[in-house]
Amino acid sequence: MDSQPNGQKLKIMIMNDEEDILTLYNDYLSSKGHQVIAKYTDASDIRDDVRTNTPDVFIIDYRLPGAKNGIDAAVEILTTLPTAPILFVTGDESAMNIVSKDPLLSNSKVMMLLKPVKMHRLEEAMLELVNGPPPVFVN
């Protein structure tokens, strides 16, 4: 996942429990030339899929149905792909505190945006995460 010039087109995996948000992100990011290679409403199959089709960036919601939340999914991803850029987009402010206390997450390319997030800001954050130095948490 080397840095590439701005204007780049990214391969993206999105994890969000709301179908309408998955559709919104997919439609917007696709219209900007990015390729959404997978969408998930939960974190159950992420590890296997990451091994077969590696994206440039992950967009993950903190709250997911099932046994794993977004942070659990991110830890699984980083265990398999230690340099994977992960963008959390959540309305849960407590997630920032949880992530900042986890050594694996806080020392990785992880960024958090608090909802509501404008679509252009989502794309900007994604590109910053992929191309820039390890980010700090922002909202």
| CATH code for the domain of 22 | 3.40.50.2300
Q: Tokens 């994890």 sit at which residue?
A: 15
The reply to whether 74 falls in a domain is yes
In a domain, 3, yes or no: no
Q: What is the DSSP letter of 2?
A: -
Between 5 and 2, residue with greater pLDDT:
5
Question: Which pLDDT does position 8 carry in this prediction?
Answer: 87
Residue 112 burial (C-beta neighbours within 10 Å; 0-12, 13-18, 19+): buried
In a domain, 105, yes or no: yes
Query: In the prediction, which pLDDT does 6 show?
Result: 56
Give 3's pLDDT tier (boundaries 50, 70, 90).
very low
- Judge whether residue 137 has pLDDT over 60: no
- What is the per-residue pLDDT for 4? 39
Class of residue 81 by CB neighbours under 10 A (exposed 0-12, middle 13-18, buried 19+):
middle
**How many domains does the chain divide into?**
1
Domain range for 52: 11-131
Q: Which residue from 125, 121, 5, 119 is spatially nearest to 58, judged by alpha carbons?
A: 125
Give the burial string for 32-46 (b: 16+ CB within 10 Å, else e): eebebebbbbbbeeb
Classify residue 40: in a domain, yes or no.
yes
Is the pLDDT higher at 138 or at 49?
49
Does any domain span residue 87?
yes
Token pair, residue 40, equals 């998930």
Q: What is the pLDDT of residues 31-71, one digit of tens each?
A: 999 999 999 999 887 777 888 889 999 999 999 999 999 99
Identify whether 72 is part of a domain.
Answer: yes
Structure tokens at 2: 């080397």
In a domain, residue 4? The reply is: no
Task: State yes or no: cis peptide before 82, omega within 30 of 0.
Answer: no
pTM above 0.75, yes or no: yes
Residue 6 lies in a domain: no
